């Protein structure tokens, strides 16, 4: 296990709120085992806006106290076994959301606003079970017009993987703008990348537009194929067979432990 | 060739339901809705522009503002059509994507509500699509409302369900009643079989027509261009479809 990944993992302290991206947006799977080895628990995970393998593994490792998410699944490989078991056992505090509500909460934090209003949600059980959300009447409408307020979401740490960073700490995220939203809203951002380049990404307008400036980035480490078995846009595809292998193994606690004890291909 | 595969009937039906759309989006793990949308685009080519955003596709996704942009486009009123499934769907078109039994300790947990609690409200033409047609899925009342079929007066609701498509038939949804009406039955199935497999009450005409089948020109478009386009995002589904076609020809 790389020393720099291990060092990044030590920034996580028990009880922190951690933001993690959706399957296809750059999951730092390379950080999963260092996080588990580090062992800081009681984590509250925020899935932006849904979770998968990494969330399931952190739950399986017993590090998770709560999950706020719009969904957790392994996509084509089916349900997320450790998450589903934890839900059944009542072992994690669940905050079911809907995708744009998570985006709205991050957007509020990005703006430094206390909340964001959003449409939809009225009459859903998603709303009914969220005592942290509010419904008000739109103050700009002549009367009525209920609208939901989503409080700002301030994660302690965002963790994600991207194709490229430069040695000045800037990270190229392309059009995966949710990664920027996560970093803006979070106190710290820990980023793994496929490669670290020598030239400044902000010096070229073509890369500058898709670059998250170092202002929002706490630490970077190179981790080639760091999203595996997930894919990374423009770099490599998802290895669905590996997700299926995990899904089968992790049906039981013992199978999960056995899977996690195996070496990860570099 | 006379035969039409069941999945081709479904894809063609989706394309029919999408007539007139400008922008249609397809969510995760939805090869049949994706193929139906691609067929609509192919059928309308040269007459009107159909824009398509397929989640998970690079070629058929033009969004550049992260995963929030789909929802933003719906909020702006630009997204005309979307698809929702559901572990449970009831006779009022309420959708449950969360789990069966109590909440939060569900006896069976499904992935979660995804964007349904927003898109069901904001997208004018939501097509409910669930292949499994059984009393387990089509229930009288869902255990958890991820998204409600209708909303009381005064709730902002430009969107909602228009139809429910299953492996056996097609229902339309009337939000004023509210409730479903059986619109057509797919080849190989009967209205009696549908009544037996449906857990909620619905209206049905005295004689229910068969679901229309694609003609030769549409079929060749489907098996050519659409199948090729689909293979980028759904290679396994496309390979399966090709195998079925080879068996049909044999």
All structural domains of chain A with their residue ranges: 5-97+153-261
**pLDDT value of position B173:** 98
Among A96, A145, A146, the residue with its CB nearest the CB of B112 is A96
CB pairs under 8 A between A and B: 145
Q: Which residues of A touch B233 (CB under 8 A)?
A: none
- Blockwise average pLDDT, block size 10, chain B, 250 residues: 87 98 92 97 96 86 93 98 96 97 93 97 98 98 98 97 98 97 97 98 96 96 96 89 93
- Report the run of H or E that residue B12 belongs to, with start and end: helix B6-17
Pairing of strands B169-174, B179-185: antiparallel
Using the beta-carbon criterion (under 8 Å), do B105 and A49 form an inter-chain contact?
no
Distance, in angstroms, between B205 CA and closest chain A CA? Answer: 31
* Window B:135-154, CB contacts with A under 8 Å: 144-148, 151-152, 154
Asked whether the CA dihedral A240, A50, A176, B75 is positive or negative, the reply is: positive
pTM above 0.90, yes or no: yes
Q: How does pLDDT run across A177-211, given as a tens digit for each residue?
A: 999 999 999 999 999 999 999 999 999 999 999 99
Q: Which residues of B touch A22 (CB under 8 A)?
A: 67
Which residue in B91, B92, B159, B90 sits closest to B127, CA to CA? B159
What percentage of residues in chain A have a pLDDT greater than 90?
94
Confidence of residue A266 (pLDDT cuts 50, 70, 90): low
Using the beta-carbon criterion (under 8 Å), do B118 and A79 form an inter-chain contact?
no
**pLDDT value of position B2:** 59
- CA of A234: which chain B residue's CA is closest? B58
What single DSSP character describes residue B209? P
Pairing of strands B95-96, A64-69: unpaired
DSSP, collapsed to helix, strand or coil, labels residue B168 as: coil
| Residue with the two structure tokens 């089948």 | B213
Quote the CA–CA distance of A218 and A164 in Å, as a whole number: 15
Which residue in B212, B193, B215 sits closest to B204, CA to CA? B193
Q: How does pLDDT run across A129-164, given as a tens digit for each residue?
A: 999 999 999 999 998 999 999 999 999 999 999 999
**pLDDT value of position A188:** 98
For the cut 80, the answer to whether the pLDDT of residue A1 exceeds it is no
Among B63, B109, B122, the residue with its CB nearest the CB of A120 is B122
Among B104, B122, B147, the residue with its CB nearest the CB of A87 is B104
Q: Which of B113, B119, B120 to mutate to test the interface with A (most CBs of A within 10 A)?
A: B113
Q: What share of chain A is helix, strand, coil (3-state, %, to 5)?
A: 35, 25, 40
Quote the CA–CA distance of A117 and A150 in Å, as a whole number: 6
Distance, in angstroms, between B32 CA and closest chain A CA? Answer: 14
Q: Which residues of B touch A181 (CB under 8 A)?
A: 66, 68
Q: Which of A91, A123, A241 to mutate to test the interface with B (most CBs of B within 10 A)?
A: A123
The token duo for A111 is: 């703006």
DSSP chain A: --HHHHHHHTT--TT-EEEEE-GGGT--GGGHHHHHHH---SEEEEEES-B-HHHHHHHHTT-EEEEEES-BB-GGG-B-HHHHHHHHHT-SEEEE--HHHHHHHHHHHHHT-SEEEESS-TT-HHHHT-TT-EEEE-TTSSS--EEEEEE----SEEEEEEEEEETTS-EE-TT-HHHHHHHHHSSEEEEEEEEEESS-GGGSHHHHTTEE-GGG--EEEE-TTTTTTS-BTTTB---HHHHHHHHHHTTSHHHHHHHHHSPPP-
Quote the CA–CA distance of B117 and B138 in Å, as a whole number: 19
**pLDDT value of position B1:** 41
* Window B:57-76, CB contacts with A under 8 Å: 58, 63-69, 71, 75
Using the beta-carbon criterion (under 8 Å), do A96 and B113 form an inter-chain contact?
yes
Using the beta-carbon criterion (under 8 Å), do B236 and A125 form an inter-chain contact?
no
Quote the CA–CA distance of B48 and B24 in Å, as a whole number: 14
Quote the CA–CA distance of B230 and B36 in Å, as a whole number: 10
Confidence of residue A75 (pLDDT cuts 50, 70, 90): confident
- CA of B142: which chain A residue's CA is closest? A125
How many CA atoms, within 13 angstroms, populate the side-chain half-sphere of residue B89? 26
Across A103-107, A124-128, B58-62, least confident range: B58-62
How many CA atoms, within 13 angstroms, populate the side-chain half-sphere of residue A2? 16
Task: For chain B, list the domains and their CATH numbers.
Answer: 6-85+114-132+148-249 (3.40.1080.10)
A53, A17 contact by CB (below 8 A): no
A193, A204 contact by CB (below 8 A): no
Q: Which of B63, B66, B71 to mutate to test the interface with A (most CBs of A within 10 A)?
A: B66
Q: Which residues of B touch A163 (CB under 8 A)?
A: none
B66: left (phi over 0), alpha (psi -120 to 50) or beta: left
How does the average pLDDT of chain A come out, rounded?
96
Using the beta-carbon criterion (under 8 Å), do A145 and B154 form an inter-chain contact?
yes
Q: What number of H helices and E strands is found in chain A?
A: 10, 12
* Window B:178-237, CB contacts with A under 8 Å: 236
Residues in CB range of A28: below 8 A, 6 or more apart? A54, A159, A160, A161, A190, A191, A192, A223, A226, A227
The domain over range A5-97+153-261 is classified in CATH as 3.40.1080.10: yes
Distance, in angstroms, between B149 CA and closest chain A CA? Answer: 10
For the residues A118-123, what does the mean pLDDT come to?
A: 98
Is A24 near chain B, with CB under 8 Å? yes
Give this complex's ipTM: 0.96
Is B117 near chain A, with CB under 8 Å? yes
For the cut 60, the answer to whether the pLDDT of residue A56 exceeds it is yes
Distance, in angstroms, between B112 CA and closest chain A CA? Answer: 4
Is B118 near chain A, with CB under 8 Å? yes
Confidence of residue A265 (pLDDT cuts 50, 70, 90): low
Cα–chain center distance at A215? 20
Among B104, B115, B148, the residue with its CB nearest the CB of A94 is B104
Could you give the C-alpha distances from B143 to B90, B95, B106, B148, in angstroms and in order?
A: 10, 9, 10, 12
Quote the CA–CA distance of A113 and A105 in Å, as a whole number: 9
Quote the CA–CA distance of A43 and A37 in Å, as a whole number: 14
What single DSSP character describes residue A169? S
In residues, how long is chain A? 266
Distance, in angstroms, between B171 CA and closest chain A CA? Answer: 23
What's the distance, Cα to Cα, between the start and end of chain B in Å? 11
Using the beta-carbon criterion (under 8 Å), do A145 and B110 form an inter-chain contact?
no
Could you give the C-alpha distances from B239 to A56, A241, B42, B248, in angstroms and in order?
A: 30, 16, 21, 14
Is A72 near chain B, with CB under 8 Å? yes
């Amino acid at each position: 296990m790389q020393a720099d990944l291990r060092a990044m993992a030590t920034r996580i302290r028990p009880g922190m709120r951690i933001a993690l991206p959706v399957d296809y947006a750059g999951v730092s799977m390379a950080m999963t085992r260092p996080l588990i080895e580090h062992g800081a628990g009681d984590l509250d995970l925020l899935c932006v806006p849904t979770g998968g393998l990494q969330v399931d593994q952190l739950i399986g490792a017993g590090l998770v106290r709560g999950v706020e998410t719009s969904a957790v699944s392994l996509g084509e490989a089916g349900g997320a076994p450790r998450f589903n078991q934890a839900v059944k056992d009542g072992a994690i505090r669940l905050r079911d959301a809907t995708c744009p509500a998570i985006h709205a909460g991050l957007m509020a934090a990005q703006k430094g606003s206390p909340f964001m209003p959003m449409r939809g949600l009225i009459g859903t059980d998603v709303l009914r079970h969220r005592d942290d959300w509010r419904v008000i009447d739109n103050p700009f409408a002549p009367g009525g017009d209920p609208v939901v307020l989503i409080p700002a979401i301030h994660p302690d740490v965002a963790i994600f993987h991207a194709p490229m960073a430069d040695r000045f700490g800037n990270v190229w995220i392309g059009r995966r703008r949710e990664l920027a939203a996560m970093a803006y809203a979070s106190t710290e951002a820990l980023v793994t990348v496929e490669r670290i380049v020598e030239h400044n990404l902000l010096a070229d307008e073509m890369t500058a537009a898709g670059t998250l400036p170092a202002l929002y980035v706490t630490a970077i480490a190179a981790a080639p194929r760091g999203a595996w078995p997930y894919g990374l846009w423009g770099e490599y595809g998802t290895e669905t067979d590996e997700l299926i292998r995990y899904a089968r193994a992790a049906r039981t606690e013992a199978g999960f432990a056995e899977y996690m004890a195996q070496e990860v291909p570099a | 060739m006379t035969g039409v595969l069941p999945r081709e009937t479904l894809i063609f039906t989706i394309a029919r339901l999408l007539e007139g759309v400008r922008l249609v989006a397809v969510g995760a793990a939805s090869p049949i809705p994706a193929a139906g949308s691609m067929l609509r685009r192919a059928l309308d080519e040269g007459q009107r522009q159909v824009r398509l955003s397929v989640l998970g596709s690079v070629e058929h996704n033009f969004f550049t503002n992260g995963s929030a942009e789909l929802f933003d486009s719906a909020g702006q009123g630009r997204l005309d059509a979307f698809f929702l499934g559901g572990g449970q769907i009831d006779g009022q078109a309420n959708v449950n994507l969360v789990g069966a039994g109590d909440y939060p300790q569900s006896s069976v947990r499904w992935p979660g509500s995804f964007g349904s609690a927003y898109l069901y409200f904001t997208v004018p033409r939501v097509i409910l699509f669930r292949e499994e047609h059984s009393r387990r899925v089509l229930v009288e009342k869902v255990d958890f409302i991820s998204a409600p079929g209708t909303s009381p007066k005064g709730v902002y609701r430009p969107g909602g369900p228009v139809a429910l498509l299953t492996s056996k038939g097609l229902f339309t949804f009337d939000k004023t009643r509210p409730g479903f009406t059986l619109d057509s039955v797919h080849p190989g199935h009967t209205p009696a079989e549908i009544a037996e497999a449906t857990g909620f009450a619905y209206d049905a005409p005295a004689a229910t027509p068969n679901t229309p089948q694609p003609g030769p020109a549409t079929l060749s478009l489907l098996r050519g261009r659409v199948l090729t386009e689909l293979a980028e995002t759904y290679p396994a589904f496309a390979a399966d479809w090709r195998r079925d076609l080879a068996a049909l020809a044999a």
